Structure 1
Amino acid sequence: MAHPEQPGAVEVHHPQPITLHPATTPLVPVEPRTVPAVQSIVLPDGRVVTGYTLTPAPTPAPAAGTRPAVSRTAVNIALGGIGFAAVCGGLVLLTSFIAALAAFVQQLIILAAVIFGGWIAVQVLGPRPTGGGTTVNIRKAVIKRNRFYQ
């Protein structure tokens, strides 16, 4: 380990020049009118970007009288089928809900019939308050030949 007072070994790197080989293909001269114009843009932070403007390639116009590959009717039918398939799950839940609601209403009707029927049975078969009639106490009764003797 070297002391701070003594410098250590120093490595020196010398840059090597890059040698360019001549192009293997001959350069073709270009007419000046086909070279696109160079455009420079100054960015807000002060940098300058320079480049060629690109013109979009023209898209061919559709020929008159040609029809699309898929008809609109077929697309509408397919979308309707997809929508119906998406709704089917909800329809199954809806029918299950309606069946459960019908069973619940049926149980309520049966409960009401049992309670109301029980109330009617108590009213009909239950003890009646006496309204001041005659009470007869039979201590010893004798029945002979379908006659009642007291």
Structure 2
Amino acid sequence: MYPEQTPHVPAQRAVEVHQPTPYPPAAIQPTPVVPVLPDTVPAVASIVLPDGRVVTGYAINPAHPEAPTAKPAVSRTAVNVALGGVGFLAVCGGLILLTSFIAALTAFITQLITLAAVIFGGWIAVQIFSANGHRGGTTVNIRKAVIKRNHFHG
């Protein structure tokens, strides 16, 4: 290297070491001892591992599966489907009755309108073709009339 060239050396930093501050231990309150009956205390088992270590612990009793509950004679799904069918039939029956009622009401209204038309038409026919003659008004016989220069001479 040339003297005017100096290698770049990073500046060394001071190493700071932080020590954790211990907290004072919490006041430990003794837990009350509950007397246990001798037949409820589980047995303690010790196992020697192949490398010579001894592991001591409580023996765990295998969990017994619950006895299967008796199945009902009919499944709930079948009962639900049957109830749905009964409800559907009830609704359909009601709809059939409703449509029958509407059809009967429509026929009744149609008959009333037809009856009114027949009665009103008969009354008009009696008025027109009655044999009582004329009841007033003026009768003009225009067969003998002469029209001269836009004047009517009767």
Same fold, TM-score > 0.5, yes or no: no
TM-score by length of 1: 0.37
Q: TM-score, normalised by structure 2?
A: 0.36
Structure of greater Rg = 2
